[in-house]
Structure 1
Amino acid sequence: MKSKILILAAVVLFVVSCGTQKSAAVATTETPAAPITETAKAAPLTPELAEAKNLYENSCGRCHKLYEAKKFTQEEWKPILTRMQKKAKLDDTQIASISNYINSQL
């Protein structure tokens, strides 16, 4: 009976010690600056381009990280978008609006 109580106490002690681990917060005097994104620098988007941006983020960002528009040239984006259109199951008007959005960011 004593061995069962000791085993139970050891198991409880182990579970409690694993679950209540806390780390001390490190105070810093330096405040991080807000990152400036490319979209913050660009002119405000028209409603059509805003919708295309939303479509780009939701359709393309579902499977992989989103690339900045300036990472590729307009000629490099054409085959990328054509290849991804089939995988994302986008119709021609949707891919055209995404293409217009990307071209507006170049």
Structure 2
Amino acid sequence: MKLRILTLTAVTLLIVSCGTKKAAPVATATPAATETAKTTELTPALAEGKNLYENSCARCHKLYDPKKFSQEDWKPILVRMQKKAKVDDTQIALISNYITSQL
């Protein structure tokens, strides 16, 4: 009797585990979303600023989308983070220019 219960339980678990797999939703790009995406060609200085932003800032926290804050909001954030990230004035200017170009 125990063998039948264990077998029935094992078969039930196998069927349930195979039948409950859920597929992740697939994101599709719509033409409207593609048109509204702003693509800015990066000059070498802006590319360096992007590189500094991604490498200096991501060491401590997640990267924020530059559009999340206004240009006025970014100024005190960058000043405050400059010392923590150990970047000099030239590097912070490159980061600031990159963020401003993405707004």
> TM-score range, shorter-chain basis?
0.5 to 0.7
Deviation sequence 1:7-52 (CA, Å, 0-9, x none) = xxxxxxxxxxxxxxxx76x475x64326x79xx6322111110111
After the TM superposition, list the runs of 4 or more consecutive aligned residues in structure 1 that deviate by more than 3 angstroms.
none
Residue ranges of structure 1 left out of the alignment (5+ in a row): 1-22
Aligned partner of 1:101: which letter?
A: Y
**What does residue 55 of structure 1 align with?**
52
**What does residue 93 of structure 1 align with?**
90
Name the CA distance, whole Å, in 2 between partners of 1:95 and 1:43. Answer: 20
What count of residue pairs does the alignment treat as equivalent? 81
Residue ranges of structure 2 left out of the alignment (5+ in a row): 1-16
Higher RCO (C-alpha 8 Å, min separation 6): 2
**What does residue 32 of structure 1 align with?**
27
Cα RMSD, aligned residues only: 2.6
- Aligned-pair identity in percent equals 71
Aligned pairs (5 A) from 1:73-92:
73-92=70-89
**Which one of 88, 102, 105 corresponds to residue 99 of structure 2?**
102
Secondary structure in 2 aligned to 1:41? Answer: coil
> TM-score w.r.t. structure 2 length?
0.66
